[in-house]
Structure 1
Amino acid sequence: KLDAWGFVGMGLIIAAFLLARSPSWKSLRRPTPW
């Protein structure tokens, strides 16, 4: 259903946002300036 896909998309966006904010993700990718 469209609602189910929208919910999954929001979950992926939130997960990506949390991963981008976590310090472990920054230490994992050193070449990135931020």
Structure 2
Amino acid sequence: MRLPVIPHNRRLISWIQVIKLSIFSFLKMNA
């Protein structure tokens, strides 16, 4: 039950990075 948690967290972290990057570029376009 613990092994599937590691790839899931990895994917979640990559999703957070993508969302952060899109928000950052969005704020840059607004400014």
Residue of structure 2 in register with 1:10 after alignment:
15
The normalised TM-score by structure 1 is: 0.64
Provide the TM-score with structure 2 as the length reference. 0.69
**Deviation above 3 Å: which 4+ runs of structure 1?**
none
Structure 2: distance between partners of 1:18 and 1:4: 21
Equivalent pairs, count: 25
Q: CA deviation at 1:5?
A: 0.2
- 2: CA distance, partners of 1:21 / 1:4: 25
Q: Work out the percentage of aligned pairs sharing the same amino acid.
A: 4
Backbone CA RMSD of aligned residues? 1.3
Q: Which residue of 1 aligns with 2:24?
A: 19
